[in-house]
Amino acid sequence: MSDVQKKAGESKPTKNKLWGGRFTGGLDPLMEAYNESLSLDKAFYAEDIDGSIAWARANKNAGILTEEEFKEIERGFGMVQKEWDSDSFQIKPGVDEDIHTANERRLGEIVGQAIAGKLHTGRSRNDQVATDLRLWLRKKLHEIEDHLTSLLKVIVSRAENDIDLLLPGYTHLQRAQPVRWSHWLLSYGACFARDLRALEFVIQELNYCPLGCGALSGNVFNIDRRAIADELGFKEICMNSMDAVSDRDFLLKTMGWGSDFMLHVSRIAEDLCIYSSQEFGFVKLADAYSTGSSLMPQKKNPDALELLRGKSGTMHGIHSGFRMTLNALPSTYNKDMQEGTSAILSTIHLLSTSTLILTGVLTTLTPNSHRMSSALEPAMLATELADYLVRKGVPFRETHHISGRVVALAEKMGKGMDELSVEELQGVDARFGGDVKGCFDHEEAVERRGVEGGTGRGRVVEQVRVLKELLEKVEI
């Protein structure tokens, strides 16, 4: 046993420990550091204070505190909050185990222990931390909701302004059919719109108040849990006290939402990495979101996009990791759940910054209309030939085969499909008429996709309108 461990065994826990009365020996300093969470949960200082004031008010209404005592607690917490806000709060290492201990310790210094010592009556850190987490996360998710709304506004604006640009649409990363650049943008707009709707559900699901559930079995002083929930802006109270202190589904749902969202972010980042490469050159990234090479002066690397793609994997890992932390835990509160604090802090930081970076990339990139149009090769219109014959009553399976023979003929003759004469086309199938050359127009091919959700101009305008209506509802 080390000297430090011997001293720990001989010492007693500080009076500031909320749990100290049961113990006669002190903590190993390594365990002290291993156990503390203040370095992380100090992020919840404002929420912890809001929850404590609501709790004090409930205890006043239940007759545990006098009106004067409550006012002193409220005054004291006002001073504590100002210290945190101004970054002047003095943390006491070895004493302030977590944000709850730190705030209550400082409150006692301001208003006296005779009053501050009554604050925790009937409350456990189990329901306290669950409340802090929900309050903080609700606020942060609304901020992310704002960021996501801004991202969608940029997509909508660019889709409107760049609607005339055509480029190849790809399947299997092979040129497939011509589409509008706006249609490509709106394909991700549709993804992020789903994410926005899903985020609203996540926010609603966490908006239940656990305060008043105690360690696991409830409160003996007949406090009004619904009044607490109303004061803190919750829509409802948690139904079961044992579930309330152990429920971290709202963290998992947030991380799961983040994983889905970052999957979409990763895919658009990958597309833009490809489109901004010298081989494609469809877009040029702003210098603000690119870096160079330490060796090759000519390089302009899409670092922002690559980092977005990489952080998607990080988000998936956070989600999976915390899910495994909770897996097979026994009921009610266990200290394993403290791992959720670092996980959710990392999640919110990653999601907020990633959304802002992607918004900046899309706002500042420059499309290259020449490179886009140059990539529109005649072979991409092979389906137009098949559809041409379908309109003449030929079964599609047959027209598909005929169109394939035209592609093969053009390749054999070393020319584009649009360079084949009507006679050469009729040599493949006599049902091709003199108007068949009209099939070889990329703009018209795009406009023929006039079905709802298609890439025709009118339908793209319609998709813009749908997204605008969604954004208007979010802002109401």
Q: What is the DSSP letter of 329?
A: P
CB 226 within 8 A of CB 276: no
Q: What is the distance between the alpha carbons of residues 279 and 271, in angstroms, rounded to a whole number?
A: 13
CA angle 425, 426, 427 (to 5 degrees): 85
Query: Residue 436 corresponds to which tokens in the numbers above?
Result: 């068949």
319 among known catalytic residues: no
Query: Residue 294 corresponds to which tokens in the numbers above?
Result: 């330490």
Residue 305, SS3 per DSSP: helix
Q: What is the distance between the alpha carbons of residues 333 and 340, in angstroms, rounded to a whole number?
A: 12
Catalytic member of 88, 172, 294, 421: 172
Cα 32 to Cα 10, 18, 181, distances in angstroms: 15, 14, 57
Q: What is the distance between the alpha carbons of residues 305 and 265, in angstroms, rounded to a whole number?
A: 9
Q: What is the distance between the alpha carbons of residues 386 and 402, in angstroms, rounded to a whole number?
A: 7
Q: What is the distance between the alpha carbons of residues 389 and 177, in angstroms, rounded to a whole number?
A: 18
370 among known catalytic residues: no
User: Taking the chain, what is the end-to-end CA distance rounded to the nearest angstrom?
Assistant: 64
Cα 88 to Cα 40, 72, 79, distances in angstroms: 17, 21, 11
Q: What is the DSSP letter of 377?
A: -
CB 282 within 8 A of CB 372: yes
Q: What is the distance between the alpha carbons of residues 102 and 38, in angstroms, rounded to a whole number?
A: 8
DSSP string, 264-310: HHHHHHHHHHHHTSTTT-SEE--GGG-B--SS-TT--B-HHHHHHHH
Q: Report strand pairing: 174-180 vs 166-171.
A: antiparallel
DSSP string, 418-451: GGS-HHHHHHH-TT--GGGGGG--HHHHHHT--S
Cα 263 to Cα 195, 314, 315, distances in angstroms: 11, 11, 9
Question: What is the number of other CB atoms lying within 10 angstroms of the CB of residue 199?
Answer: 24
Catalytic member of 293, 320, 331, 374: 293
Half-sphere exposure of 115 (CA within 13 A, CB side): 21
CB 91 within 8 A of CB 102: yes
Residue 211, SS3 per DSSP: coil
Active site residues: 172, 293
